[in-house]
Amino acid sequence: MQQQIERHTISVMVDNEAGVLARVIGLFSGRGYNIESLTVAEVDAQRHFSRITIVTSGTPMIIEQIKNQLRRLVPVHRVSDLTIDGPSLERELILVKVNGTGEKRVESLRIADIFRARVVDSTIESFVFEMTGSTEKLNAFINLMQPLGLVEVSRTGVVAIARGSEAI
Amino acid sequence: MATEPITGADIVIRALVDQGVEVIFGYPGGAVLPLYDALFKQNQIRHILVRHEQAAVHAAEGYARSTGKVGVVLVTSGPGATNAVTGLTDALMDSVPVVCLTGQVPTHLIGNDAFQEADTTGITRPVTKHNYLVKSITDLSRVVHEAFHVARSGRPGPVVVDLPKDIQQAKHEYANHANQRHRSYNPQVKPDRALIERAVEMMAQAQRPLFYIGGGVVNSGPAASQMLTELVRLTGFPCTQTLMGLGAFPASDPLSLGMVGMHGMYESNHAMHDCDLMINIGARFDDRVTGRLTAFSPGSKKIHVDIDPSSINKNIHVDLAIVGDVGHVVEDMLRVWKARQAKPNGKALAGWWDQISKWRARECLRYRPSDEVIKPQYALQRLYDAVKGRDFYITTEVGQHQMWAAQFIKFEKPNHWLTSGGLGTMGYGLPAAIGVQIAHPEALVIDVAGEASILMNIQEMSTAAQYRLPVKIFIMNNRWMGMVRQWQELLHGGRYSESYSDALPDFVKLADAFGWTGLRATKPAEMDDIIKTMIETPGPVIVDVAVDEKENCFPMIPSGSAHNEMLLGPEDQRESPISEEGMVLV
Ligand SMILES: Cc1ncc(C[n+]2csc(CCOP(=O)(O)OP(=O)(O)O)c2C)c(N)n1
Ligand SMILES: [Mg+2]
């Protein structure tokens, strides 16, 4: 059966306990699944819940496997596939360092303005821009900054949430 | 509930007792001395001292699989834990419930490369169902109880609890958490009713149906086997078993087609290929069963019953997936089948059985008998003849002898056949037999072994001697790593690279050295007497059977081939060389 490769964003609610991230990552590397991005942080201090957001890709059969394998892990409470469970939002945060003087420096500021990126650090010959947005938008910003003196990028990876009133 | 603070070691023992543990298999060391001290001071739990930690896990597996209870292991930190890794992996692959307690260096030394420190939870994470490092005495009793719940529920598996030495010595109150509901882990055991109705409908309409049953039926317990047997008989459908499922349906029943897969029966594999409805109950479409995936049972609809959703649609896409415990699912299927007064399609089924009879008539297990050399098949036939009717258990090592044992020894009940299926661990059989014998002191327990495999845990002869366990080792000594030699013959032009068992010990003398009885057979005519003596000799016995060195194991689906491309004997072998794609497969 030939199947298309699809990109999915999967949200995993886990007990925030030692080793839980290693379990999830080990599952992906051990079984040869892709990780395009992975973010994790505690989201409920009282109940010790962490939320892991994973962007992965594979055939529908593999994506189904990934979700079932994740559900099998003992500290996993919930797995939801934000790509197919309904409309959802995805955001990433990025910090971009651009070095330059003269015309290029001015141009970088102008583009940052268009993208609604903020200047969070500056010296006479550098800026650090901060920006949030979808992965595509951040990629576009990086591409434009490349010829203008981009020297360093740090990004968070995707966080995501379903639209509407339902909570997972 | 006790309120007096007791030591962590005592908490562990209390929890084990509350979990109904009667036996643990272990080996001491510095990081578990407090636990061994606690064991010394009590008399509810029996400790069996093995001679290698790998064997402790296999013995616990043998105990677990022959009783349905959780097997328990206790080993020290560092090398104790790393030695246990093969056993844990074996238990994971074959879904055997095991709780393995490992000692660890005290919490304040963790990460310091302390003496006998190993990152046990890190090392065992991919080879266990779950594992714990207990860092606080307040978690201890909950964690130990939880470990048992995780090991035995859902799809069973091994669980490691890593216990730093200071935690074993700290004091706290004990609380019995035996029946506590887990906050996240609660596997589904009851199936969706609507799916059962669909399944029964499909079964009633099928023209060429086939039950394909596996280890999940055994894991679900003897009642599941009984209900499944009733269901199969009610429908009159043929039933084939995986290596792990042998005994889950009585082998002597005319509806049984025997084992399926790489060395399975001709009729089973052809039925798999040609059926129009496959009812998979507790099996997992393992590559040893499916052969080439693209050619696997091309014309069938497939129903898959499994307690583990991740087993479903992993290798083979199925038409109807039922998640649940086999026992519950089969019970519901029976009820619905009866309530609907369902009838199989009698005419089509009769035609299907006609076809199956033709496949059966090929007599795929036939071999060329000999008066001069002992054919391995003959040795096992004679063994089976001598033990049938008795309360017998068979364990095996890994290789040709394992496959021949699966083909020639017939099981009427579950839990009596113990073999390393998923991992294929040489060295499994003897310690597993020890575990079985501990659980069933009166039973006849035989490890069908190869001369190479048996050397991998041969030290356990000492354990059997210490506890006066009357286990029997039946070595099919072909002086080769036979299965390796067979593949080299088929796939590598007969270049027998490193597969000769050179410098073998004299097994009869070895028996003597360990305080066992040693016997040897070299002629077919001696077989019956030797087997009789083996059975009648009290205490442990090793039998060295000199079998034909060059015999290959048939039937065989060469790797990369389909079910209807089986080799039945040496003649076929010469005709059909193995494909390039097949060469890369294991
Ligand atoms: C621990 C381990 N190492 C290697 C193998 C690969 N292997 C599979 S069968 C086999 C040969 C077994 O020889 P023997 O025990 O004499 O059995 P025979 O095939 O001759 O019956 C080997 C080396 C294995 N299964 N397990
Ligand atoms: Mg051999």
What ipTM was predicted for this assembly? Answer: 0.94
Ligand with an atom nearest the CA of residue B427: 1
A65, A75, A76: residue with CB nearest B310: A65
pLDDT at residue B576, rounded to an integer: 65
Give B244's DSSP letter: G
Burial B365-395 (b: 16+ CB within 10 A, else e): bebeeeeebbbbbbbbbbbbebbeeeebbbb
Q: Is the pLDDT of residue B40 over 70?
A: yes
User: What CA–CA distance (Å, rounded) separates B142 from B575?
Assistant: 61
Q: What is the mean pLDDT of chain B?
A: 97
Flag whether residue B126 sits within 8 Å of chain A, measured between CB atoms.
Answer: yes
pLDDT digits (tens, 9 = 90+) for B483-501: 999 999 999 999 999 999 9
Confidence tier at B289 by pLDDT (50, 70, 90) = very high
Asked if residues B362 and B412 have their Cβ atoms less than 8 Å apart, the reply is: no
Cβ contacts (< 8 Å) between B125 and chain A: which residues?
19, 22-23, 26
- Closest CA to ligand 1's atom 5: B426
Q: Are strands B472-477 and B541-546 parallel, antiparallel or unpaired?
A: parallel
Judge whether B362 is closer than 8 Å to chain A, CB to CB. no
- Region of poorest pLDDT, from B1-10, B212-221, B241-250, B270-279: B1-10
Ligand 1 mean position, distance from CA B123 (Å): 25
Q: Is B52 exposed, middle or buried (0-12, 13-18, 19+ CB in 10 A)?
A: buried
Indicate whether B579 pLDDT > 80.
Answer: no
Contact A23 B125 (CB under 8 A): yes
Contact (CB<8Å) A65/B130: no
Report whether pLDDT(B574) > 80. no
Q: Tell me what the mean pLDDT of segment B23-27 comes to.
A: 98
Active site residue B550: no
* Cβ-contact B214, B281 below 8 angstroms: yes
Question: What is the pTM for the complete model shown?
Answer: 0.97
Give yes or no for B107 touching A (CB within 8 A): no
A48 backbone dihedrals φ, ψ, rounded to 5°: 55, 45
Question: DSSP secondary-structure letter at B184?
Answer: S
Q: Which of B147-156, B273-282, B560-569 has the weakest average pLDDT?
A: B560-569
Q: Which pLDDT tens digits describe chain A residue by residue (168 residues)?
A: 557 999 999 999 999 999 999 999 999 999 999 999 999 999 999 999 999 999 999 999 999 999 999 999 999 999 999 999 999 999 999 999 999 999 999 999 999 999 999 999 999 999 999 999 999 999 999 999 999 999 999 999 999 999 999 998
B219 CB neighbour count, 10 Å cutoff: 29
B447 close to B476: Cβ distance less than 8 angstroms: no
pLDDT at B175: 94
Cα dihedral across residues A61, A62, A66, A69: positive or negative: positive
Rounded to the nearest angstrom, the gap between the alpha carbon of residue A94 and the centroid of all alpha carbons in its chain is 10
Number of CB pairs < 8 Å for A and B? 43
**Which residues are paired to B103 by β-bridges?**
B163
Look at residue B196 and give its three-state secondary structure. Answer: helix
DSSP β-bridge partners for residue B304 = B280, B321
In this predicted structure, the answer to whether residue B227 has a pLDDT above a threshold of 70 is yes
Look at residue A60 in the predicted model and tell me its pLDDT: 95
Name the more confident of B291 and B57. Answer: B57
Q: What is the mean pLDDT of residues B25-44?
A: 98
B420 C-alpha vs ligand 2 centroid, how far in Å? 16
CA distance B58 to chain A (A): 24
pLDDT of residue B174: 97
Shortest distance between the Cα of B144 and any Cα of chain A, in A, equals 15
* Partner residue opposite B121 with nearest CB, options A19, A30, A61: A19
For every residue of B70-82, DSSP letters joined together read PEEEEE-STHHHH
pLDDT for position A2: 59
Atom number, ligand 1, closest to the C-alpha of residue B449: 15
pLDDT tens for residues B322-336? 999 999 999 999 999
Q: Which of A23, A61, A74 sits opposite B185 (nearest CB)?
A: A74
Judge whether B273 and B290 are in contact, CB under 8 Å. Answer: no
